[in-house]
Protein backbone atom coordinates (compact mmCIF):
# COMPACT_ATOMS: atom_id res chain seq x y z
CA UNK A 1 0.00 0.00 0.00
CA UNK A 2 1.13 3.56 -0.69
CA UNK A 3 -0.22 6.24 1.62
CA UNK A 4 -0.35 9.30 -0.60
CA UNK A 5 -0.05 12.92 0.39
CA UNK A 6 -0.76 12.10 4.02
CA UNK A 7 0.16 13.92 7.23
CA UNK A 8 2.01 11.72 9.68
CA UNK A 9 3.38 11.72 13.19
CA UNK A 10 7.01 10.76 12.81
CA UNK A 11 9.04 8.74 15.28
CA UNK A 12 9.34 11.84 17.49
CA UNK A 13 5.59 12.50 17.13
CA UNK A 14 6.20 15.62 15.11
CA UNK A 15 3.70 16.27 12.34
CA UNK A 16 5.03 16.02 8.82
CA UNK A 17 2.65 17.15 6.11
CA UNK A 18 1.93 15.70 2.70
CA UNK A 19 4.12 12.60 2.94
CA UNK A 20 4.24 9.42 0.91
CA UNK A 21 4.61 6.20 2.87
CA UNK A 22 5.18 2.91 1.06
CA UNK A 23 4.53 -0.45 2.70
CA UNK A 24 6.08 -3.63 1.30
CA UNK A 25 6.54 -7.14 2.66
CA UNK A 26 4.98 -6.12 5.94
CA UNK A 27 7.42 -3.28 6.51
CA UNK A 28 7.61 0.46 6.09
CA UNK A 29 9.75 0.67 2.98
CA UNK A 30 9.56 4.33 2.04
CA UNK A 31 8.80 7.68 3.67
CA UNK A 32 9.28 10.92 1.79
CA UNK A 33 7.92 14.20 0.47
CA UNK A 34 8.00 12.92 -3.07
CA UNK A 35 5.99 10.15 -4.67
CA UNK A 36 8.24 7.09 -4.94
CA UNK A 37 9.06 5.43 -8.27
CA UNK A 38 8.42 1.96 -6.91
CA UNK A 39 5.00 0.35 -7.05
CA UNK A 40 3.56 -0.29 -3.59
CA UNK A 41 0.16 -1.53 -4.73
CA UNK A 42 -3.05 0.14 -3.58
CA UNK A 43 -2.93 3.91 -3.20
CA UNK A 44 -4.51 5.36 -0.05
CA UNK A 45 -5.73 8.94 -0.30
CA UNK A 46 -4.25 10.79 2.68
CA UNK A 47 -6.52 13.83 2.54
CA UNK A 48 -7.63 14.83 6.08
CA UNK A 49 -5.87 11.79 7.49
CA UNK A 50 -3.05 11.37 9.99
CA UNK A 51 -0.82 8.31 9.80
CA UNK A 52 0.98 7.14 12.91
CA UNK A 53 2.31 4.06 14.62
CA UNK A 54 -0.40 1.72 15.84
CA UNK A 55 -0.81 1.19 19.57
CA UNK A 56 0.53 -1.56 21.86
CA UNK A 57 -1.78 -2.60 24.67
CA UNK A 58 0.55 -4.54 26.95
CA UNK A 59 -1.76 -5.73 29.70
CA UNK A 60 -5.13 -7.29 29.02
CA UNK A 61 -7.29 -10.32 29.73
CA UNK A 62 -9.16 -10.54 26.45
CA UNK A 63 -12.01 -12.93 27.26
CA UNK A 64 -13.07 -10.69 30.12
CA UNK A 65 -15.23 -8.72 27.68
CA UNK A 66 -17.72 -11.44 28.67
CA UNK A 67 -17.83 -9.79 32.12
CA UNK A 68 -18.29 -6.23 30.89
CA UNK A 69 -20.74 -4.43 33.15
CA UNK A 70 -21.25 -7.48 35.34
CA UNK A 71 -19.11 -6.83 38.42
CA UNK A 72 -19.47 -3.18 39.27
CA UNK A 73 -18.89 -0.79 42.12
CA UNK A 74 -17.48 -3.30 44.55
CA UNK A 75 -14.30 -3.31 46.63
CA UNK A 76 -11.54 -5.33 44.92
CA UNK A 77 -11.72 -8.43 47.12
CA UNK A 78 -15.51 -8.72 46.81
CA UNK A 79 -15.23 -7.90 43.10
CA UNK A 80 -12.89 -10.85 42.66
CA UNK A 81 -14.33 -13.33 45.16
CA UNK A 82 -18.05 -12.76 44.71
CA UNK A 83 -18.20 -11.85 41.06
CA UNK A 84 -15.16 -12.43 38.86
CA UNK A 85 -14.03 -15.88 40.04
CA UNK A 86 -17.52 -17.48 40.04
CA UNK A 87 -18.15 -16.09 36.55
CA UNK A 88 -14.78 -17.28 35.26
CA UNK A 89 -15.56 -20.77 36.55
CA UNK A 90 -18.36 -20.91 34.01
CA UNK A 91 -16.41 -19.69 30.98
CA UNK A 92 -15.59 -22.37 28.42
CA UNK A 93 -13.36 -22.38 25.35
CA UNK A 94 -16.16 -21.36 23.04
CA UNK A 95 -17.12 -18.38 25.18
CA UNK A 96 -13.45 -17.43 25.43
CA UNK A 97 -13.18 -17.64 21.64
CA UNK A 98 -15.95 -15.11 21.09
CA UNK A 99 -14.92 -12.92 24.01
CA UNK A 100 -11.40 -12.74 22.60
CA UNK A 101 -12.64 -11.91 19.11
CA UNK A 102 -14.79 -9.16 20.56
CA UNK A 103 -11.81 -7.74 22.44
CA UNK A 104 -9.66 -7.83 19.35
CA UNK A 105 -12.38 -6.09 17.36
CA UNK A 106 -12.56 -3.32 19.93
CA UNK A 107 -8.78 -2.99 19.92
CA UNK A 108 -8.44 -2.94 16.13
CA UNK A 109 -11.22 -0.38 15.81
CA UNK A 110 -9.25 1.98 18.03
CA UNK A 111 -5.86 1.47 16.40
CA UNK A 112 -4.29 -1.22 18.57
CA UNK A 113 -1.98 -3.48 16.55
CA UNK A 114 -0.62 -5.70 19.31
CA UNK A 115 -1.55 -6.78 22.81
CA UNK A 116 -0.04 -8.71 25.71
CA UNK A 117 -2.58 -10.98 27.30
CA UNK A 118 -2.59 -13.05 30.45
CA UNK A 119 -5.50 -15.45 30.79
CA UNK A 120 -6.55 -19.05 30.25
CA UNK A 121 -8.86 -21.03 27.91
CA UNK A 122 -6.16 -21.07 25.26
CA UNK A 123 -8.06 -23.51 23.07
CA UNK A 124 -10.60 -20.74 22.69
CA UNK A 125 -8.28 -17.74 22.68
CA UNK A 126 -5.66 -19.07 20.28
CA UNK A 127 -7.89 -19.54 17.22
CA UNK A 128 -9.43 -16.11 17.82
CA UNK A 129 -6.01 -14.47 17.89
CA UNK A 130 -4.67 -16.40 14.90
CA UNK A 131 -7.68 -15.67 12.72
CA UNK A 132 -7.64 -11.98 13.54
CA UNK A 133 -4.13 -11.22 12.32
CA UNK A 134 -3.35 -9.01 15.34
CA UNK A 135 -0.05 -9.37 17.21
CA UNK A 136 -0.12 -10.89 20.65
CA UNK A 137 2.23 -11.85 23.45
CA UNK A 138 0.11 -14.50 25.11
CA UNK A 139 0.71 -16.00 28.52
CA UNK A 140 -1.19 -18.34 30.81
CA UNK A 141 -2.13 -16.59 34.03
CA UNK A 142 -0.46 -19.14 36.32
CA UNK A 143 -1.90 -19.35 39.83
CA UNK A 144 -0.62 -22.11 42.09
CA UNK A 145 -1.07 -22.23 45.82
CA UNK A 146 0.35 -25.67 46.55
CA UNK A 147 3.98 -26.61 45.90
CA UNK A 148 3.48 -30.34 45.90
CA UNK A 149 1.69 -30.65 42.60
CA UNK A 150 2.42 -27.55 40.65
CA UNK A 151 4.19 -29.40 37.88
CA UNK A 152 1.10 -31.38 37.23
CA UNK A 153 -1.18 -28.47 37.07
CA UNK A 154 -2.95 -28.12 33.79
CA UNK A 155 -2.31 -24.42 33.93
CA UNK A 156 1.42 -24.80 33.94
CA UNK A 157 1.33 -27.41 31.25
CA UNK A 158 -0.81 -25.16 29.10
CA UNK A 159 1.78 -22.51 29.58
CA UNK A 160 4.63 -24.73 28.45
CA UNK A 161 2.60 -26.09 25.57
CA UNK A 162 1.97 -22.56 24.41
CA UNK A 163 5.58 -21.62 24.72
CA UNK A 164 6.83 -24.67 22.85
CA UNK A 165 4.25 -25.03 20.15
CA UNK A 166 3.00 -21.58 19.32
CA UNK A 167 5.93 -19.31 19.90
CA UNK A 168 6.71 -17.37 16.77
CA UNK A 169 3.65 -18.57 14.85
CA UNK A 170 1.87 -16.36 12.35
CA UNK A 171 5.10 -14.91 11.00
CA UNK A 172 6.23 -14.03 14.50
CA UNK A 173 3.03 -12.17 15.28
CA UNK A 174 2.35 -14.57 18.16
CA UNK A 175 4.85 -14.76 20.98
CA UNK A 176 4.38 -17.11 23.91
CA UNK A 177 5.38 -15.47 27.17
CA UNK A 178 5.73 -17.13 30.54
CA UNK A 179 3.79 -15.83 33.46
CA UNK A 180 3.50 -15.64 37.19
CA UNK A 181 0.09 -14.19 37.92
CA UNK A 182 1.48 -12.56 41.03
CA UNK A 183 3.35 -13.13 44.26
CA UNK A 184 0.14 -13.67 46.20
CA UNK A 185 -1.08 -16.36 43.83
CA UNK A 186 2.11 -18.45 43.74
CA UNK A 187 4.83 -19.96 45.92
CA UNK A 188 8.58 -19.30 45.91
CA UNK A 189 9.19 -22.73 44.38
CA UNK A 190 6.79 -22.07 41.51
CA UNK A 191 8.27 -18.65 40.94
CA UNK A 192 11.74 -20.13 40.72
CA UNK A 193 10.60 -22.88 38.37
CA UNK A 194 9.03 -20.35 36.01
CA UNK A 195 12.12 -18.15 36.21
CA UNK A 196 14.32 -21.15 35.32
CA UNK A 197 12.09 -22.18 32.42
CA UNK A 198 12.04 -18.66 31.03
CA UNK A 199 15.82 -18.48 31.17
CA UNK A 200 16.21 -21.86 29.46
CA UNK A 201 13.72 -21.00 26.76
CA UNK A 202 14.82 -17.41 26.26
CA UNK A 203 11.25 -16.38 26.94
CA UNK A 204 9.73 -13.19 28.28
CA UNK A 205 7.68 -13.02 31.46
CA UNK A 206 4.43 -11.19 32.24
CA UNK A 207 3.41 -10.60 35.87
CA UNK A 208 1.16 -8.51 38.08
CA UNK A 209 3.24 -6.44 40.51
CA UNK A 210 2.23 -4.24 43.44
CA UNK A 211 -1.20 -3.53 42.02
CA UNK A 212 -2.88 -2.94 45.37
CA UNK A 213 -1.62 -1.78 48.73
CA UNK A 214 -2.88 -4.99 50.35
CA UNK A 215 -0.94 -7.18 47.92
CA UNK A 216 2.19 -5.08 48.41
CA UNK A 217 2.05 -5.04 52.20
CA UNK A 218 1.13 -8.70 52.59
CA UNK A 219 4.10 -9.70 50.47
CA UNK A 220 6.37 -7.75 52.79
CA UNK A 221 4.80 -9.47 55.79
CA UNK A 222 5.14 -12.92 54.22
CA UNK A 223 8.64 -12.60 52.82
CA UNK A 224 10.22 -9.51 54.30
CA UNK A 225 10.54 -8.27 50.74
CA UNK A 226 8.53 -6.00 48.47
CA UNK A 227 6.99 -7.84 45.51
CA UNK A 228 9.68 -6.38 43.22
CA UNK A 229 12.49 -7.48 45.55
CA UNK A 230 10.84 -10.88 45.90
CA UNK A 231 10.59 -11.39 42.13
CA UNK A 232 14.21 -10.30 41.75
CA UNK A 233 15.38 -12.64 44.52
CA UNK A 234 13.68 -15.59 42.83
CA UNK A 235 15.14 -14.90 39.41
CA UNK A 236 12.10 -13.65 37.51
CA UNK A 237 13.86 -10.48 36.41
CA UNK A 238 16.76 -12.47 34.93
CA UNK A 239 14.45 -12.74 31.91
CA UNK A 240 12.89 -9.72 30.20
CA UNK A 241 9.74 -8.97 32.12
CA UNK A 242 6.64 -6.81 31.84
CA UNK A 243 5.20 -5.97 35.24
CA UNK A 244 1.60 -4.78 35.22
CA UNK A 245 0.33 -1.95 37.43
CA UNK A 246 3.31 -1.21 39.76
CA UNK A 247 1.13 1.20 41.73
CA UNK A 248 2.67 0.67 45.15
CA UNK A 249 6.39 0.49 44.34
CA UNK A 250 8.75 1.76 47.03
CA UNK A 251 12.00 3.60 46.52
CA UNK A 252 14.34 0.65 46.03
CA UNK A 253 11.80 -1.08 43.76
CA UNK A 254 12.34 1.52 41.04
CA UNK A 255 16.05 0.74 41.01
CA UNK A 256 15.33 -2.99 40.80
CA UNK A 257 13.06 -2.50 37.77
CA UNK A 258 15.56 -0.22 36.08
CA UNK A 259 18.52 -2.52 36.79
CA UNK A 260 16.78 -5.47 35.13
CA UNK A 261 15.15 -3.46 32.34
CA UNK A 262 11.71 -4.47 33.51
CA UNK A 263 8.93 -2.76 31.56
CA UNK A 264 5.97 -1.38 33.47
CA UNK A 265 2.48 -1.89 32.01
CA UNK A 266 0.71 1.13 33.42
CA UNK A 267 -3.07 0.62 33.54
CA UNK A 268 -4.60 3.94 34.60
CA UNK A 269 -8.24 3.08 33.87
CA UNK A 270 -8.17 -0.12 35.88
CA UNK A 271 -6.16 1.40 38.72
CA UNK A 272 -8.68 4.22 39.04
CA UNK A 273 -11.85 2.19 38.61
CA UNK A 274 -10.80 -0.47 41.11
CA UNK A 275 -9.40 2.25 43.39
CA UNK A 276 -5.97 0.62 43.38
CA UNK A 277 -4.26 4.00 43.28
CA UNK A 278 -1.90 6.13 41.20
CA UNK A 279 1.41 4.73 39.95
CA UNK A 280 4.44 6.90 40.64
CA UNK A 281 5.03 7.92 37.03
CA UNK A 282 7.38 10.83 37.85
CA UNK A 283 9.74 8.46 39.68
CA UNK A 284 9.61 5.94 36.83
CA UNK A 285 10.43 8.69 34.33
CA UNK A 286 13.26 9.93 36.54
CA UNK A 287 14.76 6.43 36.68
CA UNK A 288 14.35 5.92 32.95
CA UNK A 289 12.09 2.88 33.32
CA UNK A 290 10.31 1.73 30.15
CA UNK A 291 6.66 2.63 30.80
CA UNK A 292 4.09 1.08 28.46
CA UNK A 293 0.31 1.22 28.53
CA UNK A 294 -2.34 -1.42 29.20
CA UNK A 295 -6.12 -1.40 29.26
CA UNK A 296 -6.39 -4.37 31.63
CA UNK A 297 -9.49 -6.55 31.13
CA UNK A 298 -12.90 -5.17 30.24
CA UNK A 299 -14.21 -6.08 33.68
CA UNK A 300 -12.13 -3.33 35.25
CA UNK A 301 -11.95 -0.62 32.60
CA UNK A 302 -14.63 -1.29 30.98
CA UNK A 303 -13.40 -0.87 27.44
CA UNK A 304 -10.40 -1.80 25.31
CA UNK A 305 -10.28 1.53 23.54
CA UNK A 306 -6.66 2.59 24.07
CA UNK A 307 -7.55 6.25 23.41
CA UNK A 308 -9.30 6.27 26.77
CA UNK A 309 -6.11 5.09 28.49
CA UNK A 310 -3.94 7.45 26.45
CA UNK A 311 -6.09 10.33 27.64
CA UNK A 312 -6.07 9.14 31.24
CA UNK A 313 -2.32 8.59 31.17
CA UNK A 314 -1.93 12.08 29.71
CA UNK A 315 -3.95 13.92 32.36
CA UNK A 316 -4.46 12.06 35.64
CA UNK A 317 -0.83 12.01 36.74
CA UNK A 318 -0.58 15.75 36.08
CA UNK A 319 -3.46 16.19 38.49
CA UNK A 320 -2.21 13.74 41.09
CA UNK A 321 1.34 15.08 41.19
CA UNK A 322 0.26 18.74 40.88
CA UNK A 323 2.43 19.24 37.81
CA UNK A 324 0.80 20.32 34.57
CA UNK A 325 4.15 19.91 32.75
CA UNK A 326 4.33 16.18 33.54
CA UNK A 327 4.15 13.92 30.46
CA UNK A 328 4.22 15.74 27.15
CA UNK A 329 2.00 14.41 24.36
CA UNK A 330 5.14 12.94 22.74
CA UNK A 331 5.97 11.06 25.94
CA UNK A 332 2.40 9.79 26.16
CA UNK A 333 2.42 8.58 22.55
CA UNK A 334 5.84 6.96 22.99
CA UNK A 335 4.36 5.08 25.97
CA UNK A 336 1.42 3.86 23.88
CA UNK A 337 3.56 2.78 20.92
CA UNK A 338 7.32 2.18 20.96
CA UNK A 339 7.54 1.49 24.71
CA UNK A 340 4.85 -1.16 24.33
CA UNK A 341 6.60 -2.82 21.40
CA UNK A 342 9.83 -2.93 23.41
CA UNK A 343 8.02 -4.45 26.39
CA UNK A 344 6.88 -7.23 24.05
CA UNK A 345 10.42 -7.78 22.76
CA UNK A 346 9.39 -6.50 19.34
CA UNK A 347 12.38 -4.29 18.63
CA UNK A 348 11.41 -3.80 14.98
CA UNK A 349 7.95 -2.48 15.85
CA UNK A 350 6.25 0.61 17.24
CA UNK A 351 7.93 3.28 15.15
CA UNK A 352 6.85 5.03 12.00
CA UNK A 353 10.27 4.76 10.38
CA UNK A 354 11.72 2.96 7.36
CA UNK A 355 12.63 -0.64 8.09
CA UNK A 356 10.15 -1.06 10.92
CA UNK A 357 7.14 -3.35 10.73
CA UNK A 358 4.11 -1.68 9.15
CA UNK A 359 1.95 -1.66 12.29
CA UNK A 360 0.07 1.53 11.60
CA UNK A 361 -3.14 3.36 12.14
CA UNK A 362 -4.81 6.18 10.25
CA UNK A 363 -6.81 8.81 12.09
CA UNK A 364 -9.54 10.96 10.55
CA UNK A 365 -8.66 14.58 11.28
CA UNK A 366 -11.64 16.02 9.40
CA UNK A 367 -13.63 16.28 12.64
CA UNK A 368 -14.60 19.05 15.05
CA UNK A 369 -12.28 17.59 17.71
CA UNK A 370 -9.24 17.80 15.41
CA UNK A 371 -9.97 21.42 14.50
CA UNK A 372 -7.90 23.53 14.59
CA UNK A 373 -4.85 21.36 13.92
CA UNK A 374 -2.39 23.50 15.83
CA UNK A 375 -0.60 20.57 17.45
CA UNK A 376 -1.38 17.16 15.99
CA UNK A 377 0.11 15.11 18.86
CA UNK A 378 -1.91 17.15 21.36
CA UNK A 379 -5.05 16.50 19.39
CA UNK A 380 -4.39 12.76 19.35
CA UNK A 381 -3.74 12.60 23.10
CA UNK A 382 -6.26 15.09 24.45
CA UNK A 383 -9.03 15.45 21.87
CA UNK A 384 -9.32 12.29 19.77
CA UNK A 385 -11.65 9.35 20.29
CA UNK A 386 -11.02 5.72 19.41
CA UNK A 387 -13.70 6.03 16.75
CA UNK A 388 -11.52 8.53 14.87
CA UNK A 389 -9.40 5.59 13.69
CA UNK A 390 -10.17 4.80 10.06
CA UNK A 391 -7.61 2.10 9.31
CA UNK A 392 -5.51 -0.33 11.34
CA UNK A 393 -2.71 -2.27 9.70
CA UNK A 394 -0.58 -5.09 11.16
CA UNK A 395 2.53 -6.26 9.33
CA UNK A 396 1.26 -4.44 6.27
CA UNK A 397 -2.15 -6.15 6.30
CA UNK A 398 -5.24 -3.98 6.68
CA UNK A 399 -7.29 -5.56 9.48
CA UNK A 400 -9.77 -2.74 9.99
CA UNK A 401 -10.94 0.00 7.68
CA UNK A 402 -13.82 2.48 7.82
CA UNK A 403 -15.88 0.42 10.26
CA UNK A 404 -15.21 -2.91 8.55
CA UNK A 405 -13.27 -5.76 10.09
CA UNK A 406 -11.38 -7.72 7.45
CA UNK A 407 -10.79 -10.84 9.56
CA UNK A 408 -13.65 -10.84 12.06
CA UNK A 409 -17.34 -11.56 11.46
CA UNK A 410 -18.36 -8.81 13.84
CA UNK A 411 -22.13 -9.39 13.67
CA UNK A 412 -21.65 -13.03 14.64
CA UNK A 413 -19.14 -12.16 17.36
CA UNK A 414 -21.45 -9.63 19.01
CA UNK A 415 -24.42 -11.99 18.93
CA UNK A 416 -22.45 -15.01 20.16
CA UNK A 417 -20.76 -13.07 22.96
CA UNK A 418 -24.11 -11.78 24.18
CA UNK A 419 -25.48 -15.34 24.06
CA UNK A 420 -22.53 -16.83 26.02
CA UNK A 421 -22.67 -14.10 28.64
CA UNK A 422 -26.41 -14.55 29.08
CA UNK A 423 -25.94 -18.31 29.43
CA UNK A 424 -23.28 -17.88 32.10
CA UNK A 425 -25.36 -15.31 33.99
CA UNK A 426 -28.29 -17.73 34.06
CA UNK A 427 -26.08 -20.35 35.72
CA UNK A 428 -24.74 -18.05 38.46
Q: Any idea what the Cα angle at residue 194 is, between residues 193 and 195, rounded to 5°?
A: 90
Pick the closer one to a second copy by CB: 98 or 119: 98
Q: Which of residues 329-358 bind a second copy (CB under 8 A)?
A: 329
Strands 241-245, 205-209: pairing kind: parallel
Task: Mark 125-137 as b/e (b = at least 16 C-beta within 10 Å).
Answer: bbebbbbbbbbbb
Pick the closer one to a second copy by CB: 186 or 335: 335
- 328 lies in the site for a second copy, by CB under 8 A: yes
- 79 lies in the site for a second copy, by CB under 8 A: yes
Binding mask 362-391 for a second copy (x = CB under 8 A): ----x-xx-xxxxxx-xx--xx-xxxx---
- Count residues binding a second copy (CB under 8 A): 72
- 325 lies in the site for a second copy, by CB under 8 A: yes
Q: Which of residues 388-417 bind a second copy (CB under 8 A)?
A: 388, 410, 413-414, 417
Nearest distance from C-beta of residue 65 to a second copy, angstroms: 7
Q: Which of residues 141-160 bind a second copy (CB under 8 A)?
A: none
Q: Which stretch binds a second copy (CB under 8 A): 150-158, 189-197, 312-320, 354-362?
A: 312-320
CA distances to 121, 139, 169, 334, 372 from 291, rounded to whole Å, are 28, 20, 27, 9, 30
- 60 lies in the site for a second copy, by CB under 8 A: no
Nearest distance from C-beta of residue 256 to a second copy, angstroms: 25
Binding mask 225-264 for a second copy (x = CB under 8 A): ----------------------------------------
What is residue 105's three-state secondary structure? helix
The correct pick among 74, 80, 153, 233 for binding a second copy (CB under 8 A) is 74
Strands 135-140, 43-45: pairing kind: unpaired
CA distances to 164, 184, 224, 229, 343 from 192, rounded to whole Å, are 19, 14, 17, 14, 22
Residues in Cβ contact with 327 at an 8 Å cutoff, skipping those fewer than 6 apart:
281, 285, 313, 314, 317, 318
Pick the closer one to a second copy by CB: 129 or 179: 129
Q: Which of residues 264-303 bind a second copy (CB under 8 A)?
A: 269, 271-278, 298, 301-303
- Strand partners for 139: 118
Rounded CA separation 73/424 (Å) = 20
| Cβ proximity of 422 and 95 under 8 Å | no
Amino acid sequence: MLFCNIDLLDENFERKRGQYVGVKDGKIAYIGDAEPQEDYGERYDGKHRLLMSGFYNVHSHAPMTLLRGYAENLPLQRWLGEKVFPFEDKIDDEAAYYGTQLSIAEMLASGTVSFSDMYFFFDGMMPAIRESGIKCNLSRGLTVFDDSDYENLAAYKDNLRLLNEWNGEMGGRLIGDLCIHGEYTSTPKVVEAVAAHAKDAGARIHIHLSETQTEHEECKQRHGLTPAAYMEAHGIFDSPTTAAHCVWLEDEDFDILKKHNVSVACCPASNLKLASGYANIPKMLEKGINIALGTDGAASNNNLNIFQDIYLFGVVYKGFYHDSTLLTPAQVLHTATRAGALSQGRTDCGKLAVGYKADLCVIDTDTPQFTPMTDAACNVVYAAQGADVRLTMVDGEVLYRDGEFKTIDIEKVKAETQKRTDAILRRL
